[in-house]
Amino acid sequence: MVDRVEYDEFGLFHENAEEFGLPFDGPPRVRRAWVEVGDGRRLSALVWKEGEPELVLLHGGAQNAHTWDTVAMALDRPLVAIDLPGHGHSDGPGPHPEGDLSVDGNAADVAVAIGQLAPAARAVVGMSLGGLTTIALTKQAPELVRKVILVDVLPGIKGARAKHIVDFVNGPRSFGSLEELLELTASFNPTRSLSSLRRGILHNAEQQDDGTWVWRWARHRPPAPEGGSGGAGMGDTAYEGLWESLSSITVPLLLARGMRSDSVLGDEDEEELRRRLPSARVVHVEDAGHSLQGDKPLELTAIIEDFVFGS
C-alpha cells in the first residue's frame, strides 16, 4: 500500500510567515483561477486578496506560482501570480516552433491571462524565464505592461553561468520518495531551510499512484536528445530579438540582480543593459543567488514596493 503524503496548497502559509517573521492571523485570501488561452488549453494562476490586482508575478523555468508566496504575503496587496505554460497547474505550451522554450509563445498565453485577471496591473515582475517572457510581453501587448521588474535575468544568459540550473532541471525524471527529492533539492539549495525546500517540493511536484514523485513541469518535458539536454531550462539559447525588444521598452524598468556566485548575471550583462536602456535602474541584492524570491524575499518585496508604489 502506497504511503500518501498529504498536501493542501493553501495550508502552508503559516510556515512562510514563521520563517520570515511575517504577521499571521490566519490564511491569506488566495484562490486558484483558470483562463482559457486557446487550443483547448488553460493557464492557472493564484489570485491574492480581493480588489483589482496591482501586480502580475511570473516565475522562472521549472518553478510555479507558489514561488512568490512569501513575497505576496509581505506585499499584502491584490496581485496575480501566473503558472507559465507547462508549469504548475497550467496546461502545456501551445503549438509554437520552440515548444516550452518559446518565450513568444509564453507571452501570447500570459497576455490572455493578464487581460482577464489583471488588465490594470501597475507592473509585471518576471524572474528568469518569467522575466524573458515579460520582455516579449512588452512587444506583444504593451498596453498590459506599465512597469517592468526583471529578477536576475537579461537576454542571452551565458550557458556556463546557467549550467548548475540546467543540470538540475535535466536531472532525474522521477524520484522514489519525497525524502529522495528533498535530498537532491537541498544539495542544490544549501542555504535554504529544509522546511522551505519541503514546502517548495510539495508545490512543485506531485506524488504518483505508485508512490513515486515527478516534477509538475516535467510532465511536459520532451525526452533529452542523444548527447543533449532536455527541453526545459535556460541553456545557451540566445532568445534572438529580446535585446532589441528590451531596448525599445519605454516604461520604467528595474533589474534586481542577485550578487552571489549562483546568480546567472555578470557585470558585462549589467553593462549591456545600461548601454541599451540608459533609463534602467539596477539594484544589487547581496547574499542572493538566482531566485531572489526564495533567497531574500523581504528584500525583493521592498524593492518592488519602492519601485512600483513609491513616490
The active-site residue out of 91, 100, 152, 262 is: 152
- How far is 23 from 74, CA to CA, in rounded Å? 9
Please report where in the chains the cell 494562476 appears, as a residue: 45
* 246 CB-near residues (< 8 Å, 6+ apart): 135, 138, 154, 155, 253, 273, 276, 277
Q: Is 152 a catalytic residue?
A: yes
Handedness of CA 294, 87, 173, 229 (dihedral sign): negative
Q: Is 203 a catalytic residue?
A: no
- Judged by phi (left if over 0) then psi (alpha if -120 to 50, else beta), residue 284 lies in beta
The active-site residue out of 104, 290, 291, 295 is: 290
Expressed in percent and rounded to 5, the helix, strand and coil fractions of the chain are 40, 15, 45
Q: Is 87 a catalytic residue?
A: no
The active-site residue out of 90, 102, 128, 291 is: 128
Which candidate, 42, 34, 30, places its Cα nearest to that of 79?
A: 30
**What's the full length of the chain, in residues?**
311
Handedness of CA 35, 37, 40, 42 (dihedral sign): negative
Catalytic residue numbers, as ranges: 128, 152, 290
